[in-house]
Amino acid sequence: MENIISVDVEQWFHRPILRGHLKNIDLASKHVLEASREILQILKKYKRSTTFFVLGEVAEYVPEVVEEITKEGNEIAFHGYSHFTLPEIGERAFEEDVRRGINNIQHITKEKPRGFRAPMFSVNERTVWALKVLERYGFKYDSSVFPTKTQKYGTWSAPTHPYAPSFQDPSKEDPDQAKILEFPLLTREISFLKIPAAGGFYLRLFGANFILESIKSMNKRGYPAMCYVHPWEVYGFPKIDLPFHKRLYAYYGVPCIKHFEKLVRNVEVAPAIEVLENIGI
């Protein structure tokens, strides 16, 4: 079964944990381009393509990233404009971000993005308005619900498989809603627990084998898995002075290029829009 090892394309300094610790940032930094090229090389090595959720600021300031991703046959989806969460920006600003992001991406690819992922997986009951905005602008799927619970994000009660979300509560299915699909992030269900297993920090923490077993477990249930990484996780990023607990979280397991390559090598990978079409959704 085909699965998605998606890439959230953002600069290393876009991470919320680094806010307040950086004096200067360069939105035109080529670090994201170099890091993305590492990922593209691995995908090309194993003849894979996938979905890249691209931040609007990256598309605007480093358009070569989008050009090279597209050239290699990958899907370009939208990751918000400047990596602020939905509660931080609000509905009105979000709609403007969506318009701006679509224009930036479409100017490069000549196609509108069909998928969206909110920074910090911030689509939930309080921000359900985001789904309505996405539907108005022609998006076909969202991948912002993480059906687990952490200190920073998570919607514990949400389904763990692709589903049609309710426009009143995205953690609930609405079979009559056929406008937009939710593709939740992968979790591993063990007893009464739902352990995050989609990649990112959890790939760095648990390693590739745990993620691979989690993917297999989801596939046995008849569903594809949605995973993710960031370019800076695979490639590495500059060392900056942080409090110990933040430094541990920020740098643990970075770079994780070997874990990422092991995932790509051992999983059938395809873009999200193709996977959804292939399973008849």
> Could you say which residues of the chain have pLDDT below 70?
281
What is the CA 164 to chain-centroid distance, rounded?
19
Q: Which tens digits make up the pLDDT trace of 111-127? A: 999 999 999 999 999 99
| Domain of residue 121, residue span | 4-278
Give Cα separations from 224 to 128, 155, 184, 274 (angstroms): 24, 19, 10, 11
Helices marked H in the chain: 31-45, 56-61, 63-71, 86-109, 129-136, 201-206, 208-220, 231-235, 244-251, 257-266, 272-278
Q: Which tens digits make up the pLDDT trace of 207-261? A: 999 999 999 999 999 999 999 999 999 999 999 999 999 999 999 999 999 999 9
Q: What is the largest CA-CA distance in the chain?
A: 51
Total domains, the chain: 1
Give 142's strand partners.
Answer: 116, 182
Tell me which residue of 215, 86, 91, 90 sits closest to 153, measured CA to CA. 86
Write down the pLDDT at residue 280.
74
Q: What CATH number has the domain bearing residue 201?
A: 3.20.20.370
Give 181's strand partners.
Answer: 141
